[in-house]
Amino acid sequence: MKHPHLRFLYGRDVVNWAGWPTKILFPALGFIAVENRGNNREGAQYLRKEVQNPRFPIALAPEGQVTYHAYTCASIEMGAANIASWALEGPREEVVILPIGIGYRYAKDNDRFLLDLITRWEKEANVAVDRSLPPNEQIRAIGYETLKLVNTFWNLNLTLKGSFIEQRDGLCDALLRYSESLGGLEDSSGSIIDRLFRVRYKAVSVLNDTDRSLLSEDERRLHDEEVTKQKISDHAAQVVDVLEYIDLNYLEGKHAVQRSIEVMLSLLDVLNRLQGGMINSRFSPKSKKAFILGGTPIEVRKSFGHITGRKERLNAINQALEEGLNNVSLTLEEIMFQST
């Protein structure tokens, strides 16, 4: 492992849900833990140096979080644009970004599987669904009921008004304010994902980065109190982790049943997070079939090398990548259903 053929970077929080082997294997194999935000200067500088003369293609998930919506792309972060721009500083003639769409076909009989998911939600939430409504309206009702459950579970006492998105964002804001208060974080600026990562890595530092054997008895007591608070904080943040991207407008696409399945799986995941679960305990059928589609390659130097301003160049790369991801996602939807 002194001269590996690739570099493997991972979010520091991954070991919290990926199981104990990762806590041992990742460091032993030389994998590099990073924080997924711009304030991680050490990780950013390492990556900047590495991409100027890479030994292997680099794979990157440019969406801020996993959205579980296969046929559209959420607003992406600037990481991919930054990496491409850094790579241009090296000796290579061209840097190519390949947008990739990934989706799953969860069942052979989608209509029956969707009804099974609705039944599963009813049992886990202990809330009855009006089965006389069309499936699309049942899912919309489940969406709003799920928001009520989040509000009640965390005793937020919010008056839920407005559209689904407005109510969703209000709950995410309230949960993050609660987590920020538990972590003593005075900075609540930025987007939902900015705040989420700030809360997450505060919890990671408390839960993972302290050697209790080096603490006095009083220090251990104080640390144990802080651990308790950060576990609660992380629990609330886990709900935001999936809730922030649920969008009932996604149901309106061409292949409504498949889109409905994706939304229902995420609504079930909200219940999973309320119960203390994480991404690894999210319900996902074992028989699902994966589809992967490459989109139109983006030649960065050819398309954007003439732009001298760094900010303008990054914005142009980012916009092109987001358009490329949306295009390949929509194409993926058609290809998946041609193969059924």
By CB neighbour count within 10 A (0-12 exposed, 13-18 middle, 19+ buried), where does 189 fall? exposed
Q: Tell me the residue type at 68.
A: Y
Q: Tell me the residue type at 13.
A: D
Q: Confidence band (pLDDT; 50, 70, 90) for 1?
A: very low
Instruction: Kindly report, residue by residue over 307-335, the tens digit of the pLDDT.
Output: 989 999 999 999 999 999 999 999 999 99
Q: Are strands 100-105 and 289-294 parallel, antiparallel or unpaired?
A: antiparallel
Helix (H) or strand (E) holding 272: helix 256-274
CA torsion angle for 236, 237, 239, 245 (degrees, to 10)? Answer: 150
- Three-state DSSP at 298 gives strand
Q: Confidence band (pLDDT; 50, 70, 90) for 154?
A: very high
Which is more confident, 55 or 87?
87
CB atoms within 10 A of CB 311: 8
pLDDT score, position 124: 98
Q: Confidence band (pLDDT; 50, 70, 90) for 61?
A: low
Say what the pTM is: 0.87
- Three-state DSSP at 297 gives coil
pLDDT score, position 54: 67
Which is more confident, 125 or 2?
125
CB atoms within 10 A of CB 293: 17
**CA–CA dist 119, 200 (Å, integer):** 33
Spell out the residues 6+ positions from residue 74 whose beta carbon is closer than 8 angstroms to its own: 63, 64, 65, 67, 245
Mean of the pLDDT values across residues 102-117?
Answer: 94
**CA–CA dist 334, 110 (Å, integer):** 16
Instruction: Kindly report, residue by residue over 257-312, the tens digit of the pLDDT.
Output: 999 999 999 999 999 999 999 888 999 888 899 999 999 999 999 999 899 899 99
